[in-house]
C-alpha cells in the first residue's frame, strides 16, 4: 500500500461545498447531469487526442458511460472510458475552481446571499462538486490515457481530500485502459438515487443528446439515451421536444429557458457544414462578460473539437447556443491554428448571413416574438455594426429604435427613411439613458413641431457604433444635441408656434437676436460654455445645451467619462429661445442694466436648468436651491 496524502480544498471550494451540502435542494438531480457531462467531455477529449496519437486507443473498447447501483452498500458508480486524469490533474481539477461558470455562480451567490443558493445552483450547475449534494463520500479512480498509473481521489466534501494509488480491486472495477470511475456513497436522505429508474429518468431528461451511449445497470444492451448527433438527423424526424432537450443541454439552462429561434440547416457547395443553432429567450447570465466569448461548439465530422474557437462566431453573436459540424476542416489541426483557417471564416460568414436572414424574416412574420428578441439582445446585436462590417447592411435591417414617431412601437431605419420629409437628408437622433426624458427633451422640440422624426438611442453601445458608421443608405446620422442644426428648410407651422411667444412680435423677425442677453450670458458663463447662440431647435423651453460642432456629443461625453476612457474638457454651447417670454424680459433687463443682481441669479438658474435637463450634476446645488427659493418667493409675493 502506498502513501495516502491528505490535502485541503482551496478556499473557494470549501465555501462552495458548504453551500452545496448544507442548503436544501429542490433539484439535486443536477449532479447526475454534471457527472455525465464531465464523462462525455473526457471521451470527446480522448477521441480528439487520438487523432494525433492513435496509440492512445490501444486496447480501448469504445466510448461509453455506464452507471451502476449497489443498493446494499448505498453506492452509485459512474464510469467512462475517456481521457482520464493523472495524479496532478486530479489534485488540480478536483481541488480548485477553474471553471468560469462556477466562478460566476460564486459571484452571484455573494450578491444574492446564501438563501438563494439552491436556485442559482440549479441554473448554473456546480460541476463536479454537485456530487456532494447526494453523496457523503466520493471516490474518483482515474487512469490517464497513455499512462499506466491509476490514482484514487477521495473526499467527504468537508475539509479536504486524500490522494493515493488505486488498489488492484479498484483498477479492475475501472476495467479499461483509461478512463474514470466515480463512486458515490449516497446520503441517508437521498435514497431515491439508488433506484435505476430514477437515474434513467434524469439521463433522459438532461443528457438524452449526449453524443455517446449511456447505460444504466449491469447487463443492459441498449443505451438509454439517443446517443446520436441530433444535428445530423433530418429536420422532419426531430420533434420540438427533442430540439428543446438539446437546447437545454447545450445552453446549460436545464429547461428553465426555451429557444426563441431554432435554426437547423445543412449547407453544401463551397463549404459543407451542418448547423443547429438556438437563440435563447432569456439573456444568458454571462452576456455582458468582458471576454465576449461565444460558446458554439465546433465539431469536425461528428468529432467534438472545441467550444472556444474564437473565429467561428462574432463576439456579438455570443448569445447563440448550439453546434456547427464541418465536413471540410482537417481533423489533425491544432485548436490554436484553427482560428486562422479560412474555412472557419467562411463558415462564420455563411452562418451570420443565414441567422440575420432568419431574424429579418421573423421580424416580418412574428412581430411579437421579434420584439421580445430585440428587447433581450438588441444592444448586443448592435455591437455587430462595428464588429462585422461586411454584415452591416443585414444587421441594420433588423435593428429597431425608439422614435418620436410612436410612443409604443419601435421603428426600423427603412421605415424612418420612408417617413422622411421632403428635403430631409439626414437621420436625426438623440442619445441618452432615459427614453421618456429624451422624448421631452428641449433639443428636439423644434424638430417635433416641424414634423421631423427623431430616433431615440438609449443603449450605451449606440454611442460607440455611431462614430464608426456615420450613415445609412447615404443619410447621415445627425445628433440633435450637437452642433448647429439648420432647420430653415422646414418652416414651423403657424399653429405650432411657441406658446411662450407673444403675439405682437411673432411676425417681426427683427430684434430677435437678443443681443444684450447673448452678450451678458457669454460673459457671465464664459468659464462654463463655449458660446451662446439663438436656437432653431427650441420652441417651448427657454434654453438648452448642445455640444460644439467639432466636439464629442453630450451623452457620448458622459459615456466616455463613465468608462474612464477619456474626459472631454470641451465646453457646451448654450442655445436660447429668442421667442420665449422669459428670454425676452431678461434681454430687456440686460439692455437696461437696472437690476444686475437679479439678472445674475436668473442667468445662473437658466444654466443650471439646462444642466438638469441634460442629466448633468450641478456644481453648486445649494446655490441653485437658494436662487430657486428667491425666485419662487418673488413669484408668490407678486
Ligand atoms: P468543468 O467540467 O466545467 O470543467 P467540473 O467541476 O465539472 O468543471 O470538472 C472539473 C474538471 O475535472 C474538468 O474540467 C476535468 O478536467 C476534470 N474531470 C472531471 N470529471 C472528469 C472525468 N470523468 N474524466 C476526466 N476528467 C474529469
Ligand atoms: Mg463539468
For β-strands 401-403 and 297-300, DSSP reports them as: unpaired
At 109 the pLDDT is: 65
Q: Which atom of ligand 1 is nearest to the CA of 78?
A: 23
Ligand 1 centre to CA of 228 (Å) is 22
Rounded distance, CA 217 to CA 552, Å? 68
What band does 188 get if pLDDT is binned at 50, 70 and 90? very high
**Mean local confidence (pLDDT), 72-77:** 98
Q: Would the pLDDT of 201 be above 80?
A: yes
Give the CA distances from residue 315 to residues 321, 359, 485, in Å, rounded to whole numbers and listed in that order: 13, 18, 36
88 C-alpha to center of ligand 1: Å?
13
CB 363 within 8 A of CB 371: no
427: Cβ–Cβ under 8 A, 6 or more apart, which residues? 413, 416, 417, 455, 471, 472, 475, 476, 477, 478
Name the packing angle between helices 581-592 and 515-524 (round to 10°). 80
Ligand nearest to the backbone CA of 43: 1
**Residue 431, H or E segment:** strand 426-431
Whole-number average pLDDT of the chain: 88
* pLDDT tens figures, 151-175: 999 999 888 899 999 999 999 999 9
Distance (Å, rounded) from C-alpha 211 to C-alpha 363? 34
Cell triple for 189: 436522505
Mutate which of 39, 46, 93, 98 for ligand 1 pocket (most atoms within 8 A of beta carbon): 93
Three state DSSP letters for 192-227: HHHCHHHHHHHHHHHHCCCCCCEEECCCCCCCCCCC
Return the residue whose CA atom lies nearest to atom 15 of ligand 1: 93
Cα 332 to Cα 341: distance, rounded to the nearest angstrom: 13
Contact 444, 450 (CB under 8 A): no
Which is the closest atom of ligand 1 to the Cα of 179?
Answer: 24
Q: How many CB atoms lie within 10 A of CB 382?
A: 25
Q: Output the pLDDT for position 638.
A: 65
* Ligand 1 pocket test target in 32, 128, 163, 179 with most atoms within 8 Å of CB: 128
Q: Are 77 and 140 in contact (CB under 8 A)?
A: no
Q: Identify the residue whose C-alpha is closest to ligand 1 atom 23.
A: 39
The number of the ligand 1 atom at minimal distance from the alpha carbon of 182 is 23
Angstrom distances, CA of residue 135 to CA of 189, 482, 522, 547, 583: 10, 64, 76, 64, 77
Residue nearest to atom 13 of ligand 1 (CA): 93
Could you tell me the three cell numbers for 1? 500500500
pLDDT of residue 3: 85
Distance from Cα 101 to the centre of ligand 2, integer Å: 10
- 85 membership: H or E segment, kind and range: none
Closest atom of ligand 1 to CA, residue 34: 7
For residue 406, what pLDDT band results from cuts at 50, 70 and 90?
Answer: very high
Helix axes 196-207, 30-52, angle to 10 degrees: 60
Q: Which ligand is nearest to the CA of 182?
A: 1
**Eight-class DSSP state of 128:** G
Q: Read off the pLDDT of each residue in 526-551 and give the average, rounded to a whole number.
A: 91
Please choose, from the candidates 301, 272, 340, 323, the residue with its C-alpha nearest in 3D space to the C-alpha of residue 48: 301
* Residue 637 to residues 386, 467, 630, 634, Cα–Cα distance (Å): 58, 51, 11, 5
What is the pLDDT at residue 191? 96
pLDDT value at 245 more than 60:
yes
104 — pLDDT class (breaks 50, 70, 90): low
Angle at 443 between CA 442 and CA 446, to 5 degrees: 90
Which atom in ligand 1 lies closest to the alpha carbon of residue 83? Answer: 25
Task: Determine the distance separating the centroid of ligand 2 and the alpha carbon of 37, expressed in angstroms.
Answer: 6
Q: What's the N-to-C CA distance of the chain in angstroms?
A: 101
How open is the CA angle 192-195-196, to the nearest 5 degrees? Answer: 140
Ligand 1 atom closest to 97 (CA): 6
pLDDT at 538: 92
Q: Is the pLDDT of residue 559 over 50?
A: yes
Structure confidence by residue, pLDDT tens digits, 448-457: 999 999 999 9
The β-bridge partners of 122 are none
Distance from Cα 130 to the centre of ligand 2, integer Å: 10
Query: What proportions of the chain, in percent to the nearest 5, are helix, strand and coil?
Result: 45, 20, 35
Atom of ligand 1 nearest to the CA of 39: 23
- Pocket-testing residue among 32, 38, 250, ligand 1, by greatest number of atoms within 8 A of Cβ: 38
Confidence of residue 500 (pLDDT cuts 50, 70, 90): very low
Atom 8 (ligand 1) nearest CA? 127
Q: Alpha-carbon distance 27 to 617, whole Å?
A: 48
Q: How far is the CA of 208 from the centre of ligand 2 (A)?
A: 16
Give the per-residue pLDDT at 435.
94
Pairing of strands 531-534, 150-155: unpaired
Residue having the nearest C-alpha atom to atom 27 of ligand 1: 38
When pLDDT is averaged across residues 374-378 and rounded to a whole number, the result is: 97
348 CA → ligand 1 middle, Å:
29
Do 68 and 135 contact (CB within 8 A), yes or no?
A: no
Task: Compute the distance from residue 128 Cα to the ligand 1 centre, in Å.
Answer: 6
Closest of 171, 156, 159, 202 to residue 35, by C-alpha = 202
**Residue 11: partners with Cβ closer than 8 Å, 6 or more residues away:** none
Task: Give the range among 32-41, 259-268, 269-278, 299-308 with minimum mean pLDDT.
Answer: 299-308
Kindly identify the ligand whose nearest atom is closest to the C-alpha of 307. Answer: 1
Taking a C-beta distance cutoff of 8 angstroms, is the pair 67, 186 a contact?
no
CA atoms of 334 and 305, how far apart (whole Å):
9
Band of residue 390 on the pLDDT scale cut at 50, 70, 90: very high
Q: What is the Å distance from ligand 2's center to 128 Cα?
A: 6
- CB distance 442 to 613 below 8 Å: yes
Query: 631: CA distance to ligand 2 center in Å?
Result: 67
Q: What is residue 507's predicted lDDT score, i.e. its pLDDT? A: 41
How far is the C-alpha of 147 from the C-alpha of 178, rounded, in Å?
A: 8
Tell me how far the alpha carbon of residue 119 lies from the centroid of ligand 2, in angstroms.
18
Residue 11 is predicted with a pLDDT of 76
**Regarding predicted confidence, which is higher, 362 or 28?**
362
DSSP structure class, residue 189: G
The closest-lying atom of ligand 1 relative to the alpha carbon of residue 80 is: 23
Residue nearest (by alpha carbon) to ligand 1 atom 21 = 38
- For residue 498, is pLDDT > 60? no
What ligand has the least distance to the C-alpha of 40?
1
Confidence class for position 115, pLDDT limits 50, 70, 90: low
Place of cell 441594420: 396
Instruction: Say if CB 277 and CB 263 are below 8 A apart.
Output: yes
Q: Can you give the pLDDT at residue 54?
A: 95
Task: Tell how far the Cα of 61 is from the centroid of ligand 1, in angstroms.
Answer: 22
- Ligand index nearest the alpha carbon of residue 90: 1
CA of 94 to the centre of ligand 2 (A): 11
What is the predicted pLDDT for the residue at 137? 96
d(CA 426, CA 479): 10
pLDDT at 564 over 90: no
Ligand nearest to the CA of 131: 1
Predicted pLDDT at 505:
42
Looking at residue 426, what is its pLDDT? 95
Strands 454-457 and 426-431: parallel
Query: How many whole angstroms from 483 Cα to the centroid of ligand 1?
Result: 58
Confidence of residue 88 (pLDDT cuts 50, 70, 90): very high
- Grouping H, G, I as helix, E, B as strand and the rest as coil, residue 531 is strand
Max avg pLDDT among 276-290, 332-346, 363-377, 613-627: 363-377
Which residue has its alpha carbon closest to ligand 1 atom 11? 93
- Using alpha carbons only, how large is the chain's radius of gyration in Å? 33
User: Where does ligand 1 bind, in terms of residues with CB under 6 Å?
Assistant: 34, 38-39, 41-42, 80, 82-85, 93-94, 99, 127-128, 180
pLDDT exceeds 50 at position 569: yes
Looking at residue 418, its pLDDT comes to 97
Which ligand approaches the C-alpha of residue 138 most closely? 1
Which residue minimizes the CA distance to atom 19 of ligand 1?
A: 38
Which residue's alpha carbon is at the smallest distance from atom 10 of ligand 1?
Answer: 93
Which stretch of 81-85, 569-573, 588-592 has the lowest confidence by average pLDDT? 569-573
HEC string for 434-499: CHHHHHCCHHHHHHHHCCCCEEEECCCCHHHHHHHHCEECCEEEEECCECCCCCCCCCCCHHHCCC
pLDDT value of position 603? 93
**Tens digits of per-residue pLDDT, 134-146?**
999 999 999 999 9
Round to whole Å and give the CA distance between 630 and 634. 6
Best substitution site from 9, 41, 46, 206 to test ligand 1's pocket, by max atoms within 8 Å of Cβ?
41
Instruction: 377-383: list long-range contacts, CB under 8 Å, 24+ apart.
Output: 377/279, 377/283, 377/319, 378/459, 379/459, 379/460, 379/461, 380/287, 380/316, 380/318, 380/319, 380/461, 381/316, 382/316, 382/459, 382/461, 382/462, 382/465, 383/315, 383/316, 383/461, 383/464, 383/465
Segment 20-29 mean pLDDT? 66
- Ligand 1 centroid–CA 156 distance in Å is 18
The share of the chain scoring above pLDDT 70, in percent, equals 90
| pLDDT band with cut points at 50, 70 and 90 for residue 99 | low
Distance 180 CA to ligand 2 centre (A): 14
The 3-state DSSP class for residue 88 equals helix
Q: Which ligand ends up closest to the CA of 37?
A: 2
Helix axes 117-124, 11-22, angle to 10 degrees: 110
Residue 311 pLDDT greater than 50, yes or no: yes
Amino acid at each position: 500500500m502506498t502513501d495516502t496524502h491528505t490535502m485541503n480544498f482551496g478556499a473557494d471550494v470549501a465555501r462552495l461545498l458548504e453551500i452545496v451540502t448544507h442548503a436544501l435542494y429542490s433539484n439535486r438531480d443536477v449532479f447526475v447531469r454534471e457527472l455525465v457531462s464531465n464523462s462525455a467531455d473526457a471521451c470527446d477529449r480522448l477521441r480528439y487526442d487520438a487523432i494525433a496519437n492513435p496509440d492512445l486507443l490501444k486496447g480501448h473498447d469504445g466510448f461509453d458511460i455506464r452507471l451502476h447501483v449497489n443498493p446494499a452498500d448505498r453506492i452509485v458508480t459512474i464510469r467512462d472510458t475517456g481521457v482520464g486524469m493523472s495524479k496532478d490533474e486530479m489534485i488540480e481539477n478536483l481541488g480548485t475552481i477553474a471553471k468560469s461558470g462556477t466562478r460566476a455562480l460564486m459571484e452571484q451567490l455573494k450578491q444574492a446571499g446564501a438563501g438563494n443558493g439552491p436556485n442559482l445552483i440549479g441554473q448554473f450547475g456546480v460541476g463536479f462538486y454537485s456530487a456532494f449534494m447526494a453523496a457523503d463520500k466520493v471516490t474518483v479512480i482515474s487512469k490517464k490515457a497513455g499512462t499506466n498509473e491509476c490514482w484514487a481521489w477521495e473526499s467527504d466534501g468537508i475539509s479536504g481530500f486524500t490522494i493515493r494509488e488505486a488498489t488492484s480491486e479498484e483498477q479492475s472495477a475501472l476495467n479499461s485502459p483509461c478512463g474514470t470511475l466515480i463512486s458515490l456513497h449516497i446520503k441517508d436522505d437521498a435514497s431515491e438515487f439508488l433506484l435505476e429508474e430514477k437515474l434513467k429518468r434524469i439521463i433522459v431528461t438532461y443528457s438524452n443528446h449526449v453524443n455517446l451511449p449511456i447505460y444504466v445497470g449491469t447487463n443492459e444492451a441498449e443505451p438509454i439515451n439517443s446517443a446520436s448527433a441530433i444535428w445530423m438527423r433530418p429536420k422532419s424526424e426531430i420533434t420540438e421536444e427533442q430540439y428543446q432537450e438539446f437546447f437545454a443541454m447545450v445552453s446549460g439552462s436545464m429547461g428553465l429557458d426555451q429557444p426563441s429561434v431554432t435554426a437547423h440547416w445543412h449547407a453544401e457547395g463551397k463549404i459543407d457544414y451542418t448547423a443547429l443553432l438556438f437563440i435563447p429567450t432569456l439573456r444568458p447570465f454571462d452576456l455582458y462578460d468582458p471576454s465576449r466569448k461565444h460558446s458554439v461548439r465546433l465539431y469536425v465530422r461528428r468529432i467534438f473539437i472545441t467550444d472556444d474557437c474564437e473565429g467561428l462566431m462574432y463576439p456579438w453573436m455570443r448569445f447563440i447556443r448550439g453546434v456547427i459540424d464541418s465536413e471540410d476542416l482537417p481533423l489533425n489541426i491544432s485548436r490554436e491554428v484553427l482560428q486562422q483557417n479560412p474555412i472557419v471564416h467562411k463558415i462564420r460568414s455563411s452562418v451570420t448571413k443565414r441567422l440575420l436572414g432568419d431574424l429579418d424574416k421573423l421580424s416580418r412574420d412574428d412581430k411579437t416574438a421579434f420584439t421580445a428578441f430585440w428587447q433581450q439582445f438588441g444592444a448586443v446585436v448592435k455591437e455587430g455594426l462595428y464588429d462585422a462590417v461586411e454584415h452591416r447592411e443585414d444587421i441594420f435591417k433588423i435593428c429597431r429604435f425608439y422614435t418620436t414617431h410612436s410612443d409604443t412601437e419601435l421603428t426600423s431605419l427603412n421605415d424612418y427613411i420612408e417617413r422622411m420629409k421632403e428635403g430631409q437628408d439626414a437621420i436625426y437622433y438623440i442619445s441618452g439613458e432615459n427614453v421618456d426624458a429624451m422624448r421631452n427633451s428641449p433639443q428636439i422640440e423644434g424638430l417635433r413641431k416641424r414634423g421631423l422624426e427623431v430616433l431615440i438611442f438609449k443603449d450605451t453601445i449606440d454611442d460607440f457604433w455611431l462614430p464608426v458608421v456615420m450613415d445609412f443608405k447615404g443619410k447621415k446620422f445627425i445628433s440633435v444635441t450637437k452642433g448647429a442644426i439648420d432647420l430653415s428648410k422646414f418652416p414651423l407651422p403657424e399653429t405650432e408656434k411657441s406658446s411662450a411667444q407673444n403675439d405682437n412680435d411673432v411676425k417681426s423677425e427683427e430684434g430677435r437676436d437678443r443681443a444684450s442677453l447673448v452678450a451678458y450670458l457669454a460673459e457671465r458663463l464664459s468659464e462654463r460654455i463655449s458660446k451662446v447662440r439663438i436656437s432653431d431647435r427650441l420652441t417651448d423651453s427657454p434654453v438648452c445645451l448642445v455640444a460644439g460642432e467639432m466636439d464629442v456629443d453630450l451623452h457620448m461625453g458622459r459615456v466616455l467619462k463613465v468608462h474612464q476612457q477619456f474626459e472631454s474638457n470641451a465646453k457646451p454651447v448654450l442655445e436660447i429661445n429668442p421667442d420665449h417670454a422669459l428670454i425676452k424680459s431678461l434681454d430687456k433687463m440686460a439692455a437696461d442694466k437696472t437690476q444686475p443682481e437679479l439678472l445674475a441669479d436668473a442667468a445662473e438658474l437658466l444654466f443650471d436648468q439646462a444642466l438638469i435637463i441634460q442629466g448633468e450634476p450641478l456644481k453648486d446645488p445649494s446655490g441653485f436651491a437658494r436662487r430657486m427659493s428667491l425666485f419662487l418667493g418673488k413669484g408668490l409675493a407678486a
